[in-house]
Chains A and B, each alone.
Chain A
Amino acid sequence: MSLDHIVSVTIGGLTVGMIYALIALGYTMVYGVLKFINFAHGEVFTIGGYVAAFTLLGLGVNDDMSPLVLAGCVVLALLAAVLVPMAIGFLIERIAYRPLRGRSRIIPLLSAIGVSIVMQQLIILVFGPAPVSMPSLAVGSASFVVFGIRIRVLALVIIAVSSALMLGLTYLVKSTRIGKAMRATSQDMEAAEMMGIDTNKTIAFTFVVGSALAGIGGFLVVMYYGSLKYDAGFLYGLKAFTSAVLGGIGNIPGAVVGAIVLGMTETYGVSLDLGFMAWFVVAGLILGLYVQMVRVPRRRLQHIADDRRTPAYEKSITDVYRLTPYYGFKTLLAERTDALLSVSAAHAVRLMFGNLFLAVVAAVMFANASVRIDTRWQPVIAFVVLMVILMFRPSGILGEAITEKV
């Protein structure tokens, strides 16, 4: 395994991740405001891609056109790919979601699944079941070589666009008037209404912006891969959702971080040797130990200083805890152990097993250093990541956007 290979795999993973990020931004924004999984978001993305492709095909773009006309066509396609999804996003919210506001979580989710199915079939009816394919343009496939590695210009464009949109969205939510309204709606819809915020308008705006982002994603995917199939939205949507959860749903920078992690995992998982990936596990283990042994105790110390010992705390000190490696380690270092002891016995055992598990995994991976996971397992990776993150840390890497309620 050469450095060359690792770098090109990394670039591939980064690009895939950034495409997920484009879709995940819309997902996370809608979730942040409405606490609602917009299952149909993936289909909005597909429609964006189809509209862009058909606009370009309709305009008959080719490389013989003058650059100015070509640029005009591309801009036109981008515009179509943004406007149509915006309209669709607005309609979906108005028809299928608004009447269900305030109902239990699974009811709007059901409606969203229904919408997603309807849109998929509509795409087939309007555009046909065959995948749409784009003529390849010199602009689209342009690439350059750095240190012997070929990089596509479009990949850089995707990375730049995703980052810019992330910054723009953060600004929108944090610093504008409508952003303030969005945050207020997210925190407490009734109170926001009493303060004179038109929550219906705010939510519609959120949907329109989210759909526009999905449309841009669709446009870039069609430009990058040159083809799109009517059911692509399901998988892209799920992966975007996984990214959003991974980064902490409702958290805008989190969506991008989660998307990159997911894209990297998917690509690294099947194209790097286990021996190399084992280092990631080791890094995770070290990070975990650091958090468990240094960061958390420090916080707890502070807490105890504030609160004094409580009976519950006394009760939580059990002999089981003394069996854990931390205990010995900490005693060896002659540090204060009482802070750590506030960890409950069950929690300590869980932590210990977690670390042991990681260590064993790393050992197994090192033992089979030159083995690679078969590429046929690639589609499973995203689902496994999704399950693991939801089961063990549903708040994601960067933490969910928490709306403070007093």
Chain B
Amino acid sequence: MAAMTERISSVLARVPRGVYMALAVVLAAGFPLLNVIGVVETAWLRVGVMSLLFVMLALGLNIVMGETGLLNLGYIAFFAFGAYTTALLSSPKFELRWPFLAVVVVSTLIAMLAGFVIGLPTLRLRGDYLAIVTLAFGEIVRLTIINLQGFTNGPNGITGIYSPLLAGGSEVKTGLAAWLTVDKPIEYYYLVLVAVVVVSILLANLKNSRVGRAWNALREDELAAISSGITASRAKMLSVVLSAGIAGFAGSLYAYYSNVISPESFLFMQSVIVVCMVVLGGMGSIPGVVVGAIVLQALPQVIRQAAGAARSDFEVYRMLIFGVLIVVMVIFRPEGLLPDKLWRRESHEVDPRELEKTRQSLFDLEEGEKDLEV
């Protein structure tokens, strides 16, 4: 049994990673077709869009949390920056309707600016203090949104956000312009999917670049990293600003998609849920984070449907499972479901399998004699 699973996993490990990625993209792109042919309800397409948005959020948080090793407990605030910028630039609130691309770019930049401003004074703090400061920042942003009623409509939120026009900036809904308007779930699904794919390719490349290595070095041992010539403050700031930008991008798409945003979508718990996704999937591992986000966003919906919609304590059990999941993962499998190579090496001082392999090659022992005292 054990030997067989070992063999299967070794075969699976030999398949190039590109194949898996391509497979995942094809699966994701094919999913809406199930809706088109009527196998799956449109509601599931919406679950899909939300899952993809959370994938993007988790990918963004993974940069600071997984790659650089800085815990951010107010990550949802950057999402809020992106969402509110979009809502203000493309809704009846100030009677603006900027073109889609401009809005997305401005939203991303505003979120990045927020990341820069908050990063400037806080990044020199040590890990746990940084986590708490970011938590406070997230709450301040949310409470300020509630209180600035003239600007954000306070607790009522901003409603009637226009659908994105991929071309032109006018209200016209005919011909090509209508064709390029995104307002059906399936269109949003593909829009967000493209964004997710672009972001993950970008991040995968970044991970193996100088910058990515600098981040990992800072995570492993800040002192050693600095003495080998890495400018810690610049590298950290880059990771914070980049992750904020991705959250702002996701927030912008979210605002377009949901038509309405209100402060209740940006609670502390949302930040924790994104953290949970990264921990579950595997800190620092892009495929892991994607899987973590999809599992934690889509699975509760599936179970909710299976258990019947009217269970009022569903939310309680969902959060309960999230909490247990964090504790269990952190204790038993801190490297996550689909771990990053480096993290696996770090999180258990000695990987028993690794050790076993070495020993086997050294002494060429029989199956039963493996358990030598080390």
Asked whether A and B interact, the reply is yes
Which segment, of B32-40, B83-91, B121-129, faces chain A? B121-129
- B109-141 to A contact mask, C-beta < 8 Å, 1/0: 000000000000110011111011101110110
**CA separation between A397 and B339, bound complex, in Å?**
42
> B residues within 8 A CB of A109?
71, 127-128, 131
Which segment, of A51-59, A96-104, A352-360, faces chain B? A96-104
Q: A390 touching B122 by the CB < 8 A rule?
A: yes
- A102-129 to B contact mask, C-beta < 8 Å, 1/0: 0111110111011111111110110001
Question: Which of A107, A119, A376 has most chain B Cβ within 10 Å?
Answer: A107
Q: What would be 15 A-B contacts, judged by CB atoms less than 8 Å apart?
A: A37-B128, A96-B327, A103-B334, A106-B69, A107-B334, A109-B127, A113-B73, A117-B319, A117-B323, A118-B324, A129-B316, A376-B146, A377-B147, A387-B140, A391-B122
A122-B320 contact in complex given A383-B143, A387-B136, C-beta closer than 8 Å: yes
**CA separation between A377 and B144, bound complex, in Å?**
8
- Interface contacts beyond A114-B330, A118-B320: sample of 16 additional A-B pairs, CB < 8 Å, sorted by A: A37-B131, A99-B331, A109-B131, A111-B330, A114-B327, A117-B272, A125-B316, A238-B136, A245-B132, A376-B147, A377-B147, A379-B143, A380-B147, A390-B133, A391-B125, A392-B121
Q: Indicate which residue in A115, A234, A238, A394 contacts B327 across the interface (CB closer than 8 Å).
A: A115
**CA separation between A115 and B326, bound complex, in Å?**
8
**CA separation between A380 and B125, bound complex, in Å?**
22
Q: B323 touching A114 by the CB < 8 A rule?
A: yes
> A residues within 8 A CB of B139?
383
Chain A contact residue count (CB 8 A cutoff) = 44
B154 closest partner in A (C-beta): A376
Q: A105 touching B126 by the CB < 8 A rule?
A: yes
Q: Within 8 Å of chain A (Cβ to Cβ): is B317?
A: yes
> B residues within 8 A CB of A377?
143, 147
Q: Which parts of A378-394 form the interface with B (CB within 8 Å)?
A: 379-380, 383-384, 386-387, 390-392, 394
Q: Indicate which residue in B125, B147, B272, B324 contacts A113 across the interface (CB closer than 8 Å).
A: B272
> A residues within 8 A CB of B324?
114, 118
Q: Indicate which residue in B136, B279, B327 contacts A118 across the interface (CB closer than 8 Å).
A: B327
B324 closest partner in A (C-beta): A118
Q: Indicate which residue in B143, B327, B330 contacts A380 across the interface (CB closer than 8 Å).
A: B143
Q: Which parts of B242-268 form the interface with A (CB within 8 Å)?
A: 268
Q: B71 touching A106 by the CB < 8 A rule?
A: yes
Q: Indicate which residue in B71, B137, B323, B334 contacts A121 across the interface (CB closer than 8 Å).
A: B323
> A residues within 8 A CB of B143?
377, 379-380, 383
A376 closest partner in B (C-beta): B147
- B297-323 to A contact mask, C-beta < 8 Å, 1/0: 000000000000000010011011011
> A residues within 8 A CB of B327?
95-96, 111, 114-115, 118
Q: Which parts of A119-178 form the interface with B (CB within 8 Å)?
A: 119-122, 124-125, 129
Q: Within 8 Å of chain A (Cβ to Cβ): is B325?
A: yes
Q: Within 8 Å of chain A (Cβ to Cβ): is B275?
A: yes
**CA separation between A383 and B144, bound complex, in Å?**
11
Q: Within 8 Å of chain B (Cβ to Cβ): is A241?
A: yes
Q: A380 touching B144 by the CB < 8 A rule?
A: yes
**CA separation between A384 and B137, bound complex, in Å?**
8
**CA separation between A209 and B315, bound complex, in Å?**
33
**CA separation between A130 and B320, bound complex, in Å?**
18
Q: A120 touching B71 by the CB < 8 A rule?
A: no
Q: Indicate which residue in B127, B147, B268 contacts A105 across the interface (CB closer than 8 Å).
A: B127
Least CB distance, A222 to chain B, in whole angstroms: 22
**CA separation between A124 and B323, bound complex, in Å?**
14
Q: A241 touching B71 by the CB < 8 A rule?
A: no
**CA separation between A50 and B123, bound complex, in Å?**
39
Q: A96 touching B331 by the CB < 8 A rule?
A: yes
Q: B128 touching A105 by the CB < 8 A rule?
A: yes
User: Is chain B's binding surface mostly helix, strand, loop or mixed?
Assistant: helix
Least CB distance, A38 to chain B, in whole angstroms: 11
**CA separation between A122 and B136, bound complex, in Å?**
25
> B residues within 8 A CB of A104?
69, 127
Q: B326 touching A114 by the CB < 8 A rule?
A: yes
A100-B330 contact in complex given A105-B127, A109-B71, A114-B324, C-beta closer than 8 Å: yes
> B residues within 8 A CB of A103?
334
Q: B319 touching A110 by the CB < 8 A rule?
A: no
Q: Which parts of A64-105 form the interface with B (CB within 8 Å)?
A: 95-96, 99-100, 103-105
> A residues within 8 A CB of B146?
376
- B169-194 to A contact mask, C-beta < 8 Å, 1/0: 00000000000000000000000000
**CA separation between A149 and B61, bound complex, in Å?**
52
B143 closest partner in A (C-beta): A380
> A residues within 8 A CB of B122?
387, 390-391
> B residues within 8 A CB of A383?
136-137, 139-140, 143
Q: A390 touching B132 by the CB < 8 A rule?
A: yes
Least CB distance, B62 to chain A, in whole angstroms: 14
**CA separation between A238 and B272, bound complex, in Å?**
15
B118 closest partner in A (C-beta): A387
Q: B133 touching A391 by the CB < 8 A rule?
A: yes
Q: A386 touching B136 by the CB < 8 A rule?
A: yes
Q: A100 touching B320 by the CB < 8 A rule?
A: no
Closest 3 pairs (CB-CB, A-B): A114-B326, A117-B323, A118-B323
Least CB distance, A376 to chain B, in whole angstroms: 5
Q: A386 touching B132 by the CB < 8 A rule?
A: yes
**CA separation between A118 and B272, bound complex, in Å?**
13
Q: A121 touching B326 by the CB < 8 A rule?
A: no
> B residues within 8 A CB of A379?
143
Least CB distance, A198 to chain B, in whole angstroms: 22
**CA separation between A390 and B70, bound complex, in Å?**
16
Q: A117 touching B128 by the CB < 8 A rule?
A: no
> A residues within 8 A CB of B334?
103, 107
**CA separation between A237 and B143, bound complex, in Å?**
18
**CA separation between A329 and B121, bound complex, in Å?**
30
**CA separation between A344 and B330, bound complex, in Å?**
44
Q: B125 touching A121 by the CB < 8 A rule?
A: no
**CA separation between A299 and B30, bound complex, in Å?**
72
- A368-381 to B contact mask, C-beta < 8 Å, 1/0: 00000010110110
Q: Indicate which residue in B127, B132, B313, B319 contacts A120 across the interface (CB closer than 8 Å).
A: B319
Least CB distance, B131 to chain A, in whole angstroms: 6
> A residues within 8 A CB of B279?
110
Least CB distance, B66 to chain A, in whole angstroms: 11
B133 closest partner in A (C-beta): A390
Question: Which of A115, A121, A394 has most chain B Cβ within 10 Å?
Answer: A121
Q: B319 touching A106 by the CB < 8 A rule?
A: no
**CA separation between A394 and B133, bound complex, in Å?**
11
